[in-house]
Structure 1
Amino acid sequence: MKIAVVAPSSVPFVRGGAENLWWGLVDSLNKRADVSAELIKIPSPERNLDEIIHSYIDFARLDLLHFDQVISTKYPAWMISHPNHVIYMQHKLRGLYDTYPQHLSTAIPDKRQFPRELHALHDFLLKPPANRDYLPEIIQALLTFLAWKQRLPADWYAFPGAISRSIVHLLDTVGQSSPGVKRHCAISHTVANRVGYFPANSVVEVFYHPTSLSGLYTGSQRYFFTASRLDKPKRIDLIIRAWLAAGVANPLYIAGNGPCEAAWRDLAQGNPGIVFLGYVTDEQLARYYADALAVIFVPEQEDYGLITLEAMLAGKPVITTSDAGGVTELIKHAETGWVVAPDVTSLAQALTTCANTPALAARYGAVAKQWADKVSWNELHQFLVVGLRKKLVVINTFSVYPPVSGGQLRIYHLYRWLARVWNVVLVTLVPASHATESVTIAPGMQEIRLAKSLDYEQCEHLLSQKLGISAGDIAALLYPNALPEWVNTIKTETANADWVVLSHPYGYSALCSAYAGAFCYDAHNMEFDLKQEMLASQGDVHRYHDALTAVEQAERACVQESSCVISCTTADMDRLQHYYGAAKQGAIVANGVDIDSIPFVSTQQRLTDRKDNRLKVLFMGSLHLPNIHALKAIIDIATQCNHLNFIIAGSVCRAIATEIHTAIPTNLTLLGVVSDADKLKLLHTCDISLNPMMAGSGSNLKILEAAASGQLIVSTRFGARGGIFMAGRDYIAQELDEIPAFLNTIAPQQLASYSHVVNSAYQQVRQYADWKQLAAHFKEALQQHSAT
């Protein structure tokens, strides 16, 4: 692969952490046999608005299509246009974002004050388009703006200033827009979480990068050490004041140059214990790290803090402050150093503790080195370079995006987190009326949707008629020869895969005909039990015997032949292994919830927002037999609880026309399938999540979402299966015949008495049901059973 790392060259030139990353990345990439990399820099002065605008334009006009991938890390380099552009952000022009002076206005003048020739620019500034198609118009408008400089108020061109701030925000918005950028990444969570740094709703992937400084080693413990540009945000003055206040015997060595050097020398008052080293070479820097007792680094909201990583690699603890930004992501208080309040007293106390306990400092440094040694250029390559990332292929019989049902939610959320470090390819089926297409459904996550053939759909239709249930999944198991495009795509995608996962057993026949390697089986349920219950409800066993036998044989093969079985619950894992006689290694990866996407609304807030005295009871479910049985029970419950409003959402509502012939009570509303926005509104406005489940397999996603949102959960014990909720502590346990009587005791004034149950359930899902954590467990299980 040919890769271009594109970066600005500061004017005047200054070497810092950004340069360290660019040089280190390019140098390490060029040591690989499968990559050729080049660092491409353009001089980018930023002394005034004219220079800033022209720097952005220079990068926008750069043609790098002769490279396979472009990586940019800093403004204005991300203006580059390339179909495979990855932004690995270090920071934006901070003085126009998070450190913009508070005393300056952010409001641009009214449009009527702009000359007619600049009205288009005014419109762009008010509403920056998230589309590169407008870039030629924007550039022309900016050049016109610069041409009017002598005729417009001088403060319009102030840097920083309201208009210069808006112009840079406009250019950044366009430069970072999709589809111009393939992935958005950041060097730290501090950078990823800054307001206005990334497009709204974008997924930002974080990866800590290594240092290009070599020769780091652990020496003696002689002095406190710090190294950085001697500039105000680095707060060397705070270090000096703390050292003077601590009165420690270990001297303080300060490496670096900068505009504050003279003032900080004056602050040191000629104290012989404070040594200003000036500029030091890389070799000298490694030696100073080696013989330090500890490294002190206390910048304000640092992007990352390469000094921190270098100190850790030298086996040294770091003393920092709680507001140091990215530094605090690397340093854990009382594990790898000290993280204290950003004041002289707290910092002086940390220096005193460190000086008095060198053995403790050495222990912290050793732990720090163990962590830092894992940060490597090779891992960064795998993360940043699309063609070098490991590949995971997932076979499933239904499309995953947008995720609505439990199965879709599990697949989408587990693999979208894995897609942050691997290339994830889903190979799925869609109806014949849909187009065959490949769609990026999350950064690093591709879904290849294969349209079913007409012959296959005819087979599927006849099978469904025979069995009396929707049989699309069983049909895929029985008739893979009618899906040649699906089989061929599986063969192509698995040929170079590092891992292959079969999600559900219904793609087993297609997988076997296309792939002979190792695979992992992700068992969402005990499928034989589910299908047996569904088919038995349709009557004559002779109608479904062959189909049920095929499901049983496929599930048996998946459990026995796979390299690893993943199950949602311990109960399901035990059932699979006992029934199919397999005692191989497996892993429990429970179902989870996207906690950050569901706002928590406390019981008190729900009562405050209430417009009447009627509590709302919610049930959400797909058109799945256990959910249909639950809906029948809810209809009966609603007739006995007239003071409550019952709301049903999801495709289970369709069962009213086909499976349920009971009259619908007036206090029950059927919404059908709802949008994500409407679903969140229901979670916000409904008070109780009712879960009268008596059958099924796997764990229950809907009560996890209910707990994350702050609803009171009323459930059967079977419905709350999955292992993280305890009856009485996290939910109200009521069996079917008990639910009406309990609900009849509930009114708004009683709801508050259960707030402790609601809060406990929320803490449980935060601790044990976050998809991010669950995906980490899934990744670990896959790595232990690699297909290569």
Structure 2
Amino acid sequence: MSLKIAVVAPSSVPFVRGGAENLWWGLVESLNARADVAAELIKIPSPERNLEEIIHSYVDFARLDLLHFDQVISTKYPAWMISHPNHVIYMQHKLRGLYDTYPRHLPTTIPAKHQFPRELQSLHDFLLKPPDSRESLPEIVQILLAFLAWKDRLPPEWYAFPGAISRSIVHLLDAVGQSTPGVNRHCAISQTVANRAEYFPLQTVVEVFYHPTALQGLRTGQQQYFFTASRLDKPKRIDLIIRAWLAAEVSYPLYIAGNGPCEVDWRALAQGNPNIVFLGYVTDKQLAHYYADALAVIFVPEQEDYGLITLEAMLAGKPVITTSDAGGVTELVKHGENGWVAEPGVTALAQALKTCAASPTLAATFGATGKNWAEKVSWEALHDFLIVGLRKKLVVINTFSVYPPVSGGQLRIYHLYRWLARVWNVVLVTLVPASHASESITIAPGLQEIRIAKSHAYEKHEHQLSQKLGVSSGDIAALLYHEDIPEWGNAIKAATATANWVVLSHPYGYAALRSVYSGGFCYEAHNMEFDLKQGMLSSQGKPQRYRHELAVVEQAERACVQESTQIITCTAADRNRLIEYYGVVGKGTVIPNGVDIEGIPFISTHQRRAKHPKRLRVLFMGSLHLPNIHALEYILSIAEQCSNLDFVIAGSVCHAVNTQTSLPHNLTLLNVVSDEDKLGLLGNCDISLNPMAAGSGSNLKVLEAAASGQLIVSTRFGARGGVLMEGRDYIAQELEEIPTFLCELTSQQLLSYADVVDSAYQQIKQHSDWKALAEDFKMALQPLNTMGSTLLT
């Protein structure tokens, strides 16, 4: 049965065809070319010549009933007023004249409440504080219609468009239309749109995806002229192109396609020069022809939303010449790779034209580079991104809940799969304590976590096992007692029944997975678990206490390695160890741990010292994991020796300290902290201390420290993973050397390590960004499913 999709859009009055129409028509046409979708473009005439027309347009969409469709997609105001349980906003732009291009000389403050008639005072309250749900929409519609009825009795400036009240009314309607309870996903056609102030609700995760063009017949021809195509109005800045071309004195003519209100003025600017050719309106077939024979395409709009001209030029194998303030265009054009990005002035743009005209071979090379990238932007990729029912499904089995991410394992799973969820539906099946309720929640766009509560019988066995072994043993218990949680098996069975990929994260869910699922899976090994558990258990007593349980871990890990179709490890050392120990060949991909580069502010050493010029602060963060516990015990033993420093310990590892223990005066235990407090610690502490002597995988805390700008002091084992190099990116000190180094460390010496801090940041930025690592993960999974998938953007 086909999915029924409605693309909902405004029809401009008077009608104008542009990039928005290109997207709507292309999306609907390409969807209807599929056998599994039936799509319709639904448009309502939406004049916007005055405030009254704007309000009525918003109300028309709010009253539209499209419940007979499976999903609705809106891209532009006021279409997102539509009410539907499966509504995706793929934003092109808002009414820019009331947002980012609102005239600076106009007021933004609405009149005081007492100036409103009593019948309209509730409108003042709504304008001052828009609601974050659609529940008040009927009341808002009624009060707005009443406001229009008062037009002849209120000051004319209240109805000015643009104006303070009209601006506030549109912001109110957009806030209600975009409210999260009424919108499943917030997406944008470019990062420029996603980043604009007030375009999306606060704290909303906005997914960005570049869409293709509906223009057909694009090809690479000759190199005969410079070409541009736009509506001839002020924001497109064709006048800048003309002035730069005249200044450049190049031999290639300038062809300008399009018409609009500025055409007369710009023809005058061209001074009748026979080599500046105004083509007027051109058909799609003619447009493709002009692209084909251009030397380069010049496109210099001011803060463009996206700029299909850019993509079309690239598909024709042409370089693009643009300016640094062109908005979405600069997301596609990379200076010196597929075009030129000049400063927005006549002189700089003229120089770019000269360089291009003097190097047609280089222009062709840039054009080929752009074409190679642009050909990957497809309608099929956009379908998979936008249409929930068409997205491939990835199921991940794990024995602990992932959100909120605090420990290293949680952070890895959350960040890797939240990026994969941009292109696939990702479902995590996890366990939570018996005191919690089983539930399914969305923890990021496209990322669902099905949390299954452990049974009381299971938790009893888990507690007994931990007492026997002397260490927390919830993971091993999952191998031994999974039958005590039948709901877990049922959830895994239901989720994997429709999965395109299955990933077993850690080996501890193996028995539960195999009890209900016999297909192929990818094994994501966070550690070499047999080595890790052997080290932990051997420190707790004689082998007879743990021999059976260790054998169970080894057996499960062996099965995971040998039965899986792909193995993912955090480090090359773990991959080599697994392959060697369990005797497998031909599989094993390293996807190292990463860091949320955009989410952690970098603060340089000099900035830290200027902010906190007195005592140096040392930070250690860790979960309640035996190697971390040993590291904490070590720090407790050396803190008093290093009386010149203040030590801060954060994370669940703090629970390992007996509450009756007397702590060194210069050491503070913070336990588990919020994300906001964690960022504060990363920004306020000067040194990240990592005295690790055991464990497997790699240390996420080291990557976060590097991303934040802390100086890393670590054992060589603690900085394993291959990203950071001792001396260049961190200070390598073994356990016996650390006290002396720290005791002698002064603020001035810390400043001398600024280059080390900067180098570590550059290494992390280049090699450890979760987004890039997720792309590598996707490519590693790709051969396991012949249906393919889309690009991460």
Secondary structure at the aligned position of 1:81 is classed as: coil
The alpha-carbon deviation at position 258 of structure 1 amounts to 0.6
The alpha-carbon deviation at position 299 of structure 1 amounts to 1.0
Q: What is the aligned partner in structure 2 of residue 718 from structure 1?
A: 717
Q: What is the aligned partner in structure 2 of residue 631 from structure 1?
A: 632
Which sits farther off after the overlay, 123-132 or 41-50?
123-132
Q: What is the aligned partner in structure 1 of residue 618 from structure 2?
A: 617
CA–CA separation in structure 2 for the residues paired with 1:763 and 1:349: 32
CA–CA separation in structure 1 for the residues paired with 2:224 and 2:362: 15
The alpha-carbon deviation at position 319 of structure 1 amounts to 1.9
The alpha-carbon deviation at position 749 of structure 1 amounts to 4.0
The alpha-carbon deviation at position 766 of structure 1 amounts to 1.5
* Contact 1:518–1:787 (Cα < 8 Å) also in 2: no
The alpha-carbon deviation at position 487 of structure 1 amounts to 1.4
What amino acid sits opposite 1:629 in the alignment? H
Q: What is the aligned partner in structure 2 of residue 651 from structure 1?
A: 652
Cα displacement string for residues 641-697 of structure 1 (whole angstroms, at most 9, x for unaligned residues) = 223222211111111139xx8642222222211111221222222222211111111
Which one of the candidate residues 451, 462, 466 is aligned to 1:460?
462
Secondary structure at the aligned position of 2:589 is classed as: strand
Question: Where in structure 2 are the equivalents of 1:62-81 lying within 5 Å?
Answer: 62-81=64-83
What amino acid sits opposite 2:688 in the alignment? S
Q: What is the aligned partner in structure 2 of residue 105 from structure 1?
A: 107
The alpha-carbon deviation at position 142 of structure 1 amounts to 2.1
Secondary structure at the aligned position of 1:640 is classed as: coil
Which one of the candidate residues 60, 65, 80 is aligned to 1:58?
60
Cα displacement string for residues 118-158 of structure 1 (whole angstroms, at most 9, x for unaligned residues) = 33222222222222222223223322322222222222221
Which one of the candidate residues 245, 254, 257 is aligned to 1:255?
257
CA–CA separation in structure 1 for the residues paired with 2:252 and 2:713: 62
Cα displacement string for residues 59-93 of structure 1 (whole angstroms, at most 9, x for unaligned residues) = 11211111111100011111111111111111111
Cα displacement string for residues 530-586 of structure 1 (whole angstroms, at most 9, x for unaligned residues) = 111221122132121111001001111111111111111111112111211222221
Question: Where in structure 2 are the equivalents of 1:278-289 lying within 5 Å?
Answer: 278-289=280-291
Secondary structure at the aligned position of 2:13 is classed as: coil
Q: What is the aligned partner in structure 2 of residue 688 from structure 1?
A: 687
- Using a 3 Å threshold, how does the CA distance of structure 1 residues 350 and 59 change in structure 2: closer, same or farther? same
Secondary structure at the aligned position of 1:132 is classed as: coil
The alpha-carbon deviation at position 397 of structure 1 amounts to 0.6
Secondary structure at the aligned position of 2:640 is classed as: helix
2:675 is aligned with 1:673: no
CA–CA separation in structure 1 for the residues paired with 2:355 and 2:712: 49
2:607 is aligned with 1:608: no
The alpha-carbon deviation at position 744 of structure 1 amounts to 1.3
Cα displacement string for residues 81-117 of structure 1 (whole angstroms, at most 9, x for unaligned residues) = 1111111111111111111112222222233333333
Which sits farther off after the overlay, 542-551 or 613-622?
613-622
CA–CA separation in structure 1 for the residues paired with 2:100 and 2:34: 38
Which one of the candidate residues 385, 402, 405 is aligned to 1:403?
405
Q: What is the aligned partner in structure 2 of residue 642 from structure 1?
A: 643
Cα displacement string for residues 613-650 of structure 1 (whole angstroms, at most 9, x for unaligned residues) = 33222111111100110111011111212232222111
What amino acid sits opposite 1:770 in the alignment? D
Q: What is the aligned partner in structure 1 of residue 430 from structure 2?
A: 428
Cα displacement string for residues 730-773 of structure 1 (whole angstroms, at most 9, x for unaligned residues) = 22222212222221112334432322222222222222211111
* Contact 1:499–1:787 (Cα < 8 Å) also in 2: no
Q: What is the aligned partner in structure 1 of residue 598 from structure 2?
A: 596
CA–CA separation in structure 1 for the residues paired with 2:467 and 2:779: 42
- Using a 3 Å threshold, how does the CA distance of structure 1 residues 114 and 384 change in structure 2: closer, same or farther? same
2:539 is aligned with 1:540: no
TM-score, with structure 1 as normaliser: 0.97
- Using a 3 Å threshold, how does the CA distance of structure 1 residues 370 and 750 change in structure 2: closer, same or farther? closer
The alpha-carbon deviation at position 518 of structure 1 amounts to 1.6
CA–CA separation in structure 2 for the residues paired with 1:712 and 1:249: 56
Q: What is the aligned partner in structure 2 of residue 152 from structure 1?
A: 154
Cα displacement string for residues 303-360 of structure 1 (whole angstroms, at most 9, x for unaligned residues) = 1111121122222222222221112222222322222222222322333333333333
Q: What is the aligned partner in structure 2 of residue 708 from structure 1?
A: 707
Which sits farther off after the overlay, 749-758 or 157-166?
749-758
The alpha-carbon deviation at position 291 of structure 1 amounts to 2.2
Question: Where in structure 2 are the equivalents of 1:350-361 lying within 5 Å?
Answer: 350-361=352-363
CA–CA separation in structure 2 for the residues paired with 1:665 and 1:33: 70
Which one of the candidate residues 126, 141, 144 is aligned to 1:142?
144
CA–CA separation in structure 1 for the residues paired with 2:220 and 2:725: 49
What amino acid sits opposite 2:409 in the alignment? G
* Contact 1:620–1:648 (Cα < 8 Å) also in 2: yes
Q: What is the aligned partner in structure 2 of residue 552 from structure 1?
A: 554
RMSD: 1.7
Secondary structure at the aligned position of 2:471 is classed as: coil
CA–CA separation in structure 2 for the residues paired with 1:342 and 1:195: 22
Which sits farther off after the overlay, 184-193 or 479-488?
479-488
2:308 is aligned with 1:306: yes
Which sits farther off after the overlay, 401-410 or 334-343?
334-343
Question: Where in structure 2 are the equivalents of 1:106-145 lying within 5 Å?
Answer: 106-145=108-147
CA–CA separation in structure 1 for the residues paired with 2:387 and 2:179: 20
2:552 is aligned with 1:524: no
CA–CA separation in structure 2 for the residues paired with 1:379 and 1:573: 32
* Contact 1:7–1:41 (Cα < 8 Å) also in 2: yes
Secondary structure at the aligned position of 1:783 is classed as: helix
Which sits farther off after the overlay, 109-118 or 56-65?
109-118
What amino acid sits opposite 1:242 in the alignment? A
- Structure 1: 5+ residue runs without aligned partners? none
Which sits farther off after the overlay, 415-424 or 252-261?
252-261
The alpha-carbon deviation at position 165 of structure 1 amounts to 1.5
CA–CA separation in structure 1 for the residues paired with 2:682 and 2:357: 54
Number of aligned positions between the proteins: 785
Secondary structure at the aligned position of 1:133 is classed as: coil
Which one of the candidate residues 190, 193, 198 is aligned to 1:191?
193
What amino acid sits opposite 2:711 in the alignment? L
Q: What is the aligned partner in structure 2 of residue 771 from structure 1?
A: 770
2:326 is aligned with 1:327: no
What amino acid sits opposite 1:664 in the alignment? L
Which sits farther off after the overlay, 517-526 or 455-464?
455-464
- Structure 2: 5+ residue runs without aligned partners? 788-793
CA–CA separation in structure 1 for the residues paired with 2:164 and 2:311: 37
The alpha-carbon deviation at position 589 of structure 1 amounts to 1.0
The alpha-carbon deviation at position 382 of structure 1 amounts to 0.6
CA–CA separation in structure 2 for the residues paired with 1:130 and 1:761: 42
CA–CA separation in structure 1 for the residues paired with 2:701 and 2:312: 46
CA–CA separation in structure 2 for the residues paired with 1:379 and 1:764: 31
* Contact 1:498–1:787 (Cα < 8 Å) also in 2: no
TM-score, with structure 2 as normaliser: 0.96
Which one of the candidate residues 218, 240, 243 is aligned to 2:242?
240
Aligned sequence identity (%): 77
What amino acid sits opposite 1:399 in the alignment? S
Q: What is the aligned partner in structure 2 of residue 512 from structure 1?
A: 514
* Contact 1:230–1:257 (Cα < 8 Å) also in 2: yes
Which one of the candidate residues 153, 165, 170 is aligned to 1:163?
165
Secondary structure at the aligned position of 2:16 is classed as: coil
CA–CA separation in structure 1 for the residues paired with 2:387 and 2:448: 16
Q: What is the aligned partner in structure 2 of residue 39 from structure 1?
A: 41
Which sits farther off after the overlay, 157-166 or 541-550?
157-166
Which sits farther off after the overlay, 669-678 or 497-506?
669-678
Q: What is the aligned partner in structure 1 of residue 791 from structure 2?
A: none
CA–CA separation in structure 2 for the residues paired with 1:768 and 1:370: 24
Q: What is the aligned partner in structure 2 of residue 729 from structure 1?
A: 728
The alpha-carbon deviation at position 786 of structure 1 amounts to 3.1
What amino acid sits opposite 1:138 in the alignment? I
CA–CA separation in structure 2 for the residues paired with 1:349 and 1:198: 38
CA–CA separation in structure 1 for the residues paired with 2:317 and 2:680: 51
CA–CA separation in structure 2 for the residues paired with 1:135 and 1:785: 47
CA–CA separation in structure 2 for the residues paired with 1:353 and 1:685: 47
